[in-house]
Structure 1
Amino acid sequence: MNDSFNTQQQLTVNGEAFQINSLKELGSAAKRLPFSLKILLENLLRNEDGVSVKTQDIQALLDWDPHAKPSTEVAFTPARVVMQDFTGVPAIVDLAAMRDAMEKLGGDPAKINPLSPVELVIDHSVQVDGYGNDGAFDLNAKLEYDRNKERYEFLRWGQTAFDNLKVVPPATGIVHQVNLEYLARVVFNEDRNGQKFAYPDTLVGTDSHTTMINGLGVLGWGAGGIEAEAVMLGQPISLLIPQVVGVKLSGRLPEGTTATDLVLTVTEMLRNHGVVGKFVEFYGDGLADLPLADRATIANMAPEYGATCGIFPIDDETINYLRLTNRDEQQLKLVEDYAKHQGLWRNNGDEADYTDSLELKLDDVVPSLAGPKRPQDRIALDQAGDVLKKHLQEFQDERIERREKNDENQKIIESEGPATNTEEPVSEAQFMGAANVKFKGQEFELNDGACVIAAITSCTNTSNPSVILAAGLVAQKAKQRGINVKPWVKTSLAPGSKVVTDYLEKAGLMSDLEHLGFNLVGYGCTTCIGNSGPLASEISDAIQKHQLIVSSILSGNRNFEGRIHQDIKMNLLASPPLVVAYAIAGRTDIDVYKEPLTHDEQGNAIYLKDIWPSVKEVSDLVKATVTKSMFEKNYASVYEGDHRWQQIQVPDGKLYDWDDASTYIKKAPFFDGMTVEPPGIPTIEGARCLAKLGDSVTTDHISPAGAIKADSPTGTYLQKNGVEKSQFNSYGSRRGNHEVMMRGTFANIRLRNLLAPGTEGGVTRTQPDNNLASIYDAAMDYQKQNTPLIILAGKEYGTGSSRDWAAKGSLLLGVKAVVAQSYERIHRSNLIGMGVLPLQFKDGESHESLGITGQEVFSIEGLQDKVDEVTLVVDKDNGEKLNVKVDLRIDTPKEWDYYKHGGILQYVLRNMLNG
C-alpha cells in the first residue's frame, strides 16, 4: 500500500510492536476532525493504493469543511461484516449462485469467497408460539428447528464451504447484543506475514441496527445485503464524506427515567433537526456518567433518528465494559494505548469541528413512550393518556369511514374479481369496539384500546441491565401486592443474550417475571420484527369480528404499521418496566400518573408509582448481579450450539446442490442470462405505474417480514407446493426463496396503493383496462406484455430495516425506476445495487402536485452516464404530455458502475472473472 503522508510507524504495547498508520503525523488537520472522521481517515491512509483510495481522497478529508454540502466520494473498507439470518441467508444464497455463474462463465468458483471476516448470528427465526409458561422456551426452540431445517442445513453448508464465515447458532442471542458483548474488537490485532498490525474495528451489517456497536466506539452501520456481499468480496463501500452533527450531553438522568426514555428523546430531537445521511456523534462531560449500555441503547436507534451512525468516543467506560464482558487484558491495553495515540480517546472538554452542534441536558429527560406508528413520535408519559385516547378516536373514525365504504368496495370486488386483504362487512348485529370473550376459564370484555401484546424484546433494551432489572423489580413489587397482568395480554421475555437470564436469576427476579407471565420465550429478535406469533384464537376472533382497535407495547425500536401483528393497529415503544406496567393495566389509553393500573384483591387502587423502583435500587442491583463470569461462561462455546444444531446434516461440496422442491432455498435468478460484457445503461419507455404511494412507505410496507396470509399470492404459491398453512412460517424466514419474496413484495396488509383507493394490502389497478388485481398478478401480466414498470412515491421512501428484498423484489416484479420525493439512505443504495433507477422529484413537487394519476404511460429521457437530471415524460390518455425534470439519485461514480453492470453483484462477478 502507498504511504503518501508518511504515517506508517510502530506502536509498542506491553512489549509488542504493532504497525499502525499514525494520525499524530498529520497534526492539527487530523486533530480537529470529529471522532468518526478520524476513523474514516485512518481507513483511507491504511488502504491507499492509488486506485480505490488516492492521495487526493485523503487530502479531501483532511481539508473537510463541516458546512459544505458533501461532494467528495471516498472508498471505505470495513474490517468485517455482521449478518443476521433473515438477511444473511439470501446473502449466502447469492454467493452460492455467484459460484454457479462463475463456473458457467468459465471462471473459478472458488474465487467467490469472503475476503473479510463475516459473522452471522441466527437470531431472527424464533417466533413466540409458546408463552406464559415454563415450557415456552423449549416449544419455541423445537418449532424454530422444525420450520427452519432447510435454512439451517444451508447455513451449515455455507459455514464449511466458504472461508472466513462464522455462524453463531440459534438460541444464543440477538446479533447486535452478541456483537457488543463478544464479537467486537474495538481495535483489530492482525498478524500478517509475520508482522502485527493494529487498526480500528469497523464494519457494516445486514441489519439497520448494526449502529448499536457505535456505543463501543466502533464505526459501522447497516448496509443492504447486496452492498454487504460486495464488501465480503473485497469491494470497498463508496460514500460521500459526510457532514457530522455533534450532540453534547450534560447532566444526569433524573429519578424515574430510563435509558429508553433518553433514546426516545434523542430520536425525536434528531429526527426533527434532520440528520438523514449524516454521521452523528455524542460528546460532552455528560458521557462520564453515561454507562456503556445506555450509549449502546442510543446508538442502536440511529436508523430511527435517520443518521448513518450515532457514535460515542472511546474512554474509561469503554475499557470497563470490555473488561466486564471478559475481553482479554492485553486487548484492553491495546485498545487504550491505540486510542490515546490516535486521538480517539475522550478527554473532558474535548470538542471537534461539527456541521451542527446540539445540546441535550440529561436532567430534562422525562419518562416517555413512542408511537403508535413511528418510533420518532415520542409521547411524554404524563401526556400519554390524552394523546393515545386521541389516536384511538382517529382509528375509530377511520373504522366508521371504512364501514361506510365497505359495501361499495365489495360490489366493485365482486364485479372485477377477487382482491387480497379486503375487509369483510360487519353486520348490524355485531357491535364494533367491544366483545365478550371466554378465555382460559375467564370471561371478560375486550374493548378498543386493549393491550394484547406486552413484550420485553429487542436489542435496543435487552442489552441494558438497568432497564431489564427495573422490569424485574416492577414484577416483584406487583407480585408482592398480589396483582397480575390482564388475561388477554400475550406476555413474553426474549433477551438478547443468555447473560440476561443469568443476572435475572442471580437477582431473584426471574420468578417474579414468570409469575406475571413474562417467561423466557427465546434468545432472539421476536416481537420487534413481527415474530410475535399468533394471538389466542379467542382473542384474535374477537378482534377481527368486532373490528377492535387494540394495541401492543414492546421494548423495541420499530413499530411501523403491520409490523408487530396483523390484528394490531396501535404499537407503542417503551422501556421494559413500562411494558410490565401496561401489561398489568391491560390497556394503553390510560393516564398512568392519575389513573390506577389495576386494583388488588381488597379493591385498593394500585398506581404506577406504587410499583416503580428508584434509580438507586436499580443501580445497586446492577452492580451486585452483573458479573464478568457470566459473560465468560455464556460465550465460552458460542459457536457450538445445542444438540439440535449439532445434529444437522452438513451437505458437502464447494457448489451447492440446489433442491428444486425446496420452498425455503432456491437458486437466485439474478445471474440468469448474464454475459461477460456489461449491458450498459438501459432504455426505459412505455412504462406503467405498478403502485402510487404516499409518504413514509417503509421497507416493511415494501417487503413484509411477518406472517403470510393464506389468500395472498405467497400463500397460494406455498399451498400449491404442498405447504400447509400451519407451516407457512414467515416472510423473513423464506428470504432464501425468490418465488416467495417477489410475491410478498408490496404485499403488506397496511400498504395503501393510491391506484386502488379504498383498499389495503397488495392491490393495484392494471392499465389501461383499470382492473383490480394483486400487485404480483398485475406485475406478471405486465411482464408478459414486456411492459416496464415504475413506482411513484412520496417522502422518506424505503425508511426502515435494511432489507435487500425491498429492492430485489421490486426488480423481479419488473420495476425499472422509482420516482419519490425523498429516500432513506440504505434503500436508495439497494435500488441501485439491483439495477433499479432512483429518481427524485424536485423540491416542492410531487406526483400529487403535478397531477400524476398513475394511469399514464411513462418514459425517461436524457438517461446517460453521470447525468444528475433526467426528464420524466408522462403521456396522458387525452393526448396531453407532461415533461417533468427530476433528479437522478445515482450519487457516486461507483454507483454508476453498478448501474451500468445491471447491479452490484454483476459488477463484482465480472471484476472477479477478469481479475
Structure 2
Amino acid sequence: LDIIVAQEPAAIPDNIARYKLLRWGEKNLSNVRIAPPQQGGMADSTLASLCSIVQIIPAADGGNDMVVPETVLGSQRHIPSLSHKGILGWQTDTLEIESLMLGNPLSFPIPPLVGVKVTGKPRKGVGFTDLALTIMLLLQRHEAKGKIVEFFGSGLDAFSAADRAAIAQMAHHHEGVLTTLFPIDATTITHLRQTKTPPHTVALVEAYAKAQGLWREGWPHESAQDPTYNTVIELGLDTIRAVVGYGGMAGTVIQLSEAASYFTKNNPPQTAEGDPLATIRHGDVLLAQLGSETTPPHPTEMIIAGLVAREARKNGLKLKPWVRATMPPLPTRLAAYMKKAGLLDDLDALGFRQSAAAAKSQEPLPFAAPIQKALQENKLTLCSVGTDDDVFDGPLQEACKIHVLASPATVIVYAIAGNVAQDVFLKPIGLNAEGKPINIRDLWPGVADVLALTEDTPPHLLTESRPDDIFRAQPDWQAITAPTSTDALWKELAPVVIRPPLLESFAPEQPKKENIHNARILAILENDVQAGWIQADLFHPPAIAPTGNYEQMLQGALQNAALKNAMVEDPAAVGVTKHHPSGLTMPYAEAISRYQREKTPMVLVAGHNLGGGRGQEWGAKTLRYLGVRAVIAQSYDPAFRHNLVRVGILPLQLKSTLSLADLNLTGTETLNLIGIPDLGAPPGEIMVTLEGHEDIERYMLHCRLDTPEEHAMFNQGSLWATTARSLIPVAV
C-alpha cells in the first residue's frame, strides 16, 4: 500500500491527528509506504514512481522467483495515466482498496474492450491538444464510457511518454473511460532510462515484454499484431488539424480555422454596432486560464506557450483589458525550468502570473445595466478559454456562457485577440509598435526553437519525480509521533478521528439474517442522485471539511440542496422529510432519531442511476451510520451498489416492467421485505409488501447481491465483519 499525502509541509499542524494515524500505520503495518507532505501535491508527484511495470515475486519454497506484470488500483484520479508505461491501472474508491487490504479478492465483470489503431504521422503545426481533443471526440462517438481502451498501431511512435500519460488521464477524467493501456515499446524503454530507472530493471522489463508477447514491434511487423477488440477506432494522425473544444471537453471539436464562423453561426449577435452594448462585444473573452488546480498543462505545450508569449512581448502585444488571465501554480520542476529559460517572465509580462490566490479571487467586471440585461436575456454571449475544463468558479466564469478548450499557446492568442468570434487563424490578432499587423504564424515557434530549449531535458521529465524523491524522509514528518497501543492512539486522535461503529467488535458467530418488518421510507428520491449529495457536502460552500469523525460528517448528511424528497410537498425544502405515522415534516436527523427510538427500520427509495459521482464510499457509509437497512431503486451506479453491500445495506431493484411511478408511493406506507433468510446463490428475489391505509400491495424485486462473494459478505453483516471472522481461526 502506497499513500501519497498531497498537502504541502505547511499543512502539517492543521492535519496533525490524521498524520499521527498515518505514522502509526507506517510503523506498525507491513508493506506500507507513505510519501510525506511535499511541495506541489499529487499532480506534481509522479505516480509512475510507485511501480516498475513488472514485479518479481520471491519463491516461497526455494524454487524460481516469478515475474508478473504489475497492476495498480488507487483512489486518486491520475492512476489511469500509468498506462503510458504499459501498466494496467484504474481508479477505484477507498472501500475497494480497503477490501483488498483486508485480503478479499477483486472481482468485477470484464468491460468491453475498445482498440484505437493509430497510423500515420502528425502534420506540421499540430500539437498535443489537437491530438487529444480529436481522440476524446472519437471516444465520445464510440461510447467508450466505462470501457477499457487500448492503443496500438505504428502511429504510436509519434506519442511521447508524456503524451500517452495525458491522453490516458483525459480519457478517464473527461470521457469516463475505465482505463486505457498503451503497449510496452521503445518509447517505454527510453522513458525508463531517462527517469534513471536501474539498468537491470529496464532490461527485465524489455525481456519480459518480448517473452510474453507484450512488446510492440515497429513497422512493418506491426500489422501482424492487430489484437481483437469489441470495437476498433481508426485514427490517422495525418488527418488531424489544429482544433479547439467549443463548449469544453464535452462539447464539439472544431478546426481552429473554422472556430470564428462556428461561434457566429451558433450564437448570432443580437445587437448592432452602435448599440451601447458595444463596450462589451458578443464573443468577448473574459477569462483565459493556463492549467488548473487538478491538471497541470502539457509540459511541451507550456514551453511553446512561453515562446509565443515571448514573441508577443517583443512585438508589443498585450491582452485585451477585459481579459482576466489566470495561471494556477505549475508543477515545481516545470516552473523552475521555465523560470530559468525566462519564459515565466514572458508570460508574466502578458498577465499570466502563477498564483492560486489570484486565480480564485475573481472580481466581477463593472457591467453596465444594459449589459447585465443583455446577459440575462441571452442576447450577449461571453466566453472563457482554457487548457482544461476545470476553470475556477467565480463571477467571471458564471458570466461566461461558452468555454473554449484549447492548447496553452492558443489560449494566449485568444487572450490577445480578446474575442472568439475573431478569426485568429487567418486574420491579424493585433498590431506591433510600428503598426504592422501580427498574425498567429508570426508568434508561433518553429520545431528548432522548441528543441533548442529542451535538448538537455526532455519536457516530460519536467513533471516527473524521481523514485527516491517521493518517499524521501523529511524532518517535519519524522518528528510526528504516535502511541504504540491502539487504545492510546484512539484517545489521542479524538475528536478529529474517532473509532467508527463499523469497526466495533464482532460476535464470533455469523448473525442470522431475518426479514425486515414494519419499515418506514426515509425519503423518496428522484433519478440521478449523486452519492455526494447523500453525505456531508465536501465540495461546495458552506462545506464540511473531510474528517475521520463520523459523527461530525453525519451532521451534514442529506442536506444538499440538489437532493429532492418527493415525500415533502415544498419542492424548495432542503434537509427535511416526513416522519410517519405522525405525518410531521422535520429535519432528517430528528426523523431518524425518532425511528431509532421507536425501533423502526428505515428504507431509502430512489429512481434510476442512484449513487454516481464522487464520494461513493462515504455516501454508502453515511446511509449505514444513519440506520438505513435497505435501498430500493430503479437502477444503481455499479460502484455505489457494491459499496452498499460492503457496508451491510441490502440493495434491491425494481424489475424492468415496473417503474417508481407505478408504485404510487407517498411515504405513508409500511414496508415488509420478505425472503431475506432464504436467499440462495445469485440471482435472487425479495418480495416487498406495501401496506397503505386500505390495502396491501406486493411486488417482487431483484436482489442485487450479484456474486456469491457479495452474498456471503451481506450474510456476515459487512466487509469488516467478514474479515474479522475470517481471522478468528488464525488467532486461535
Going from structure 1 to structure 2, the CA distance change for 1:599 and 1:256 (only over 3 Å counts) comes to: same
Contact 2:428 2:439 in 1 (8 A): yes
Contact 1:119 1:166 in 2 (8 A): yes
Q: CA deviation at 1:205?
A: 0.6
Query: Which AA in structure 2 matches 1:811?
Result: R
Between the aligned partners of 1:781 and 1:595, the Cα distance in structure 2 is: 70
RMSD: 4.7
Contact 1:275 1:307 in 2 (8 A): yes
Between the aligned partners of 1:591 and 1:844, the Cα distance in structure 2 is: 53
Q: TM-score, normalised by structure 2?
A: 0.78
Equivalent residue in structure 2 for 1:912, among 684, 703, 727? 727
Contact 2:46 2:463 in 1 (8 A): no
Alignment of 1:229-628 (within 5 A): 229-255=98-124, 257-300=126-169, 301-302=171-172, 304-347=174-217, 348-349=222-223, 350-365=225-240, 367-369=243-245, 376-380=250-254, 451=286, 454=289, 456-457=291-292, 461-462=296-297, 464-480=298-314, 481-484=316-319, 489=324, 491-495=326-330, 497-516=331-350, 518-520=352-354, 535-536=360-361, 538-539=363-364, 555-556=387-388, 574-575=405-406, 577=408, 580-581=411-412, 584=415, 593=424, 618=450, 621-626=453-458
Between the aligned partners of 1:753 and 1:457, the Cα distance in structure 2 is: 35
Between the aligned partners of 1:448 and 1:201, the Cα distance in structure 2 is: 49
Contact 2:537 2:556 in 1 (8 A): no
Q: Deviations over 1:378-417 (max 9, x none)?
A: 5536577799899999xxxxxxxxxxxxxxxxxxxxxxxx
Contact 1:750 1:761 in 2 (8 A): no
Between the aligned partners of 2:110 and 2:490, the Cα distance in structure 1 is: 42
Q: Does 1:169 align with 2:36?
A: yes
Equivalent residue in structure 2 for 1:837, among 650, 667, 683? 650
Q: Deviations over 1:781-830 (max 9, x none)?
A: 554553413141324x4444474213222322334444445444433322
Counterpart secondary structure, 1:231:
helix
Q: CA deviation at 1:340?
A: 0.5
Q: Which residue in the other structure is 1:86 paired with?
A: none
Query: Which AA in structure 2 matches 1:335?
Result: V
Between the aligned partners of 2:510 and 2:503, the Cα distance in structure 1 is: 12
Between the aligned partners of 1:351 and 1:678, the Cα distance in structure 2 is: 51
Contact 2:579 2:591 in 1 (8 A): no
Q: Deviations over 1:634-662 (max 9, x none)?
A: 5544323666545x422131426224785
Contact 2:603 2:632 in 1 (8 A): no
Q: CA deviation at 1:504?
A: 2.4
Q: Which residue in the other structure is 1:739 paired with?
A: 551
Query: Which AA in structure 2 matches 1:906?
Result: A
Between the aligned partners of 2:152 and 2:468, the Cα distance in structure 1 is: 34
Contact 2:291 2:386 in 1 (8 A): yes
Going from structure 1 to structure 2, the CA distance change for 1:612 and 1:458 (only over 3 Å counts) comes to: farther
Between the aligned partners of 1:844 and 1:616, the Cα distance in structure 2 is: 65
Query: Which AA in structure 1 matches 2:627?
Result: G
Going from structure 1 to structure 2, the CA distance change for 1:705 and 1:241 (only over 3 Å counts) comes to: same
Query: Which AA in structure 1 matches 2:90?
Result: W
Q: Deviations over 1:137-175 (max 9, x none)?
A: xxxx64x34533333333233322322211112235554
Alignment of 1:803-882 (within 5 A): 803-843=616-656, 846-847=659-660, 858-863=671-676, 864-870=679-685, 873=688, 875=690, 879=694
Q: CA deviation at 1:316?
A: 0.8
Q: Does 1:121 align with 2:7?
A: no
Contact 2:148 2:177 in 1 (8 A): yes
Contact 2:299 2:463 in 1 (8 A): no
* % identical aligned pairs: 26
Structure 1 residue runs without a partner (length 5+): 1-117, 127-140, 394-433, 436-443, 523-531, 715-730
Between the aligned partners of 2:305 and 2:569, the Cα distance in structure 1 is: 44
Between the aligned partners of 2:663 and 2:418, the Cα distance in structure 1 is: 44
Q: CA deviation at 1:336?
A: 0.2
Query: Which AA in structure 1 matches 2:527?
Result: G
Q: Which residue in the other structure is 1:426 paired with?
A: none
Contact 1:489 1:586 in 2 (8 A): no
Going from structure 1 to structure 2, the CA distance change for 1:170 and 1:353 (only over 3 Å counts) comes to: same
Q: Which residue in the other structure is 1:201 paired with?
A: 70
Contact 1:689 1:789 in 2 (8 A): yes
Between the aligned partners of 1:325 and 1:898, the Cα distance in structure 2 is: 43
Q: Deviations over 1:514-557 (max 9, x none)?
A: 445555558xxxxxxxxx899438549999xx899998766457
Counterpart secondary structure, 2:107:
strand
Q: CA deviation at 1:204?
A: 1.0
Q: Aligned pairs, how many?
A: 693
Between the aligned partners of 1:121 and 1:200, the Cα distance in structure 2 is: 23
Alignment of 1:132-143 (within 5 A): 142=10
Between the aligned partners of 2:667 and 2:615, the Cα distance in structure 1 is: 27
Greater shift, 215-224 or 648-657, is seen at 648-657
Q: Deviations over 1:275-329 (max 9, x none)?
A: 4554322222221222222221222233543343211111111111111222111
Q: CA deviation at 1:332?
A: 0.6
Counterpart secondary structure, 2:706:
coil
Q: Which residue in the other structure is 2:54 paired with?
A: 187
Q: Which residue in the other structure is 2:470 paired with?
A: 638
Between the aligned partners of 2:191 and 2:287, the Cα distance in structure 1 is: 37
Contact 2:293 2:328 in 1 (8 A): no
Query: Which AA in structure 1 matches 2:412?
Result: A
Q: TM-score, normalised by structure 1?
A: 0.64
Alignment of 1:54-69 (within 5 A): none
Query: Which AA in structure 1 matches 2:640?
Result: H
Counterpart secondary structure, 2:232:
strand
Contact 1:326 1:632 in 2 (8 A): no
Query: RCO (CA 8 Å, sep 6+): is it higher in 1 or 2?
Result: 1
Counterpart secondary structure, 1:237:
coil
Q: Deviations over 1:26-52 (max 9, x none)?
A: xxxxxxxxxxxxxxxxxxxxxxxxxxx
Between the aligned partners of 1:174 and 1:878, the Cα distance in structure 2 is: 58
Between the aligned partners of 1:305 and 1:805, the Cα distance in structure 2 is: 24
Q: Does 1:903 align with 2:728?
A: no
Contact 1:857 1:876 in 2 (8 A): yes
Q: Which residue in the other structure is 1:668 paired with?
A: 500
Q: CA deviation at 1:880?
A: 6.2
Going from structure 1 to structure 2, the CA distance change for 1:483 and 1:682 (only over 3 Å counts) comes to: farther
Q: CA deviation at 1:458?
A: 5.8
Between the aligned partners of 1:488 and 1:906, the Cα distance in structure 2 is: 57
Contact 2:364 2:396 in 1 (8 A): no
Contact 1:755 1:764 in 2 (8 A): no
Q: CA deviation at 1:345?
A: 0.9
Between the aligned partners of 1:741 and 1:361, the Cα distance in structure 2 is: 50
Going from structure 1 to structure 2, the CA distance change for 1:756 and 1:449 (only over 3 Å counts) comes to: farther
Q: Deviations over 1:69-110 (max 9, x none)?
A: xxxxxxxxxxxxxxxxxxxxxxxxxxxxxxxxxxxxxxxxxx
Query: Which AA in structure 2 matches 1:237?
Result: L
Q: CA deviation at 1:452?
A: 5.6
Between the aligned partners of 2:668 and 2:309, the Cα distance in structure 1 is: 56
Query: Which AA in structure 1 matches 2:156?
Result: L
Query: Which AA in structure 2 matches 1:652?
Result: P
Going from structure 1 to structure 2, the CA distance change for 1:467 and 1:672 (only over 3 Å counts) comes to: same
Equivalent residue in structure 2 for 1:652, among 483, 498, 504? 483
Q: Which residue in the other structure is 2:526 paired with?
A: 693
Between the aligned partners of 1:377 and 1:840, the Cα distance in structure 2 is: 33
Between the aligned partners of 1:589 and 1:798, the Cα distance in structure 2 is: 38
Q: Does 1:794 align with 2:592?
A: no
Q: Which residue in the other structure is 1:216 paired with?
A: 85
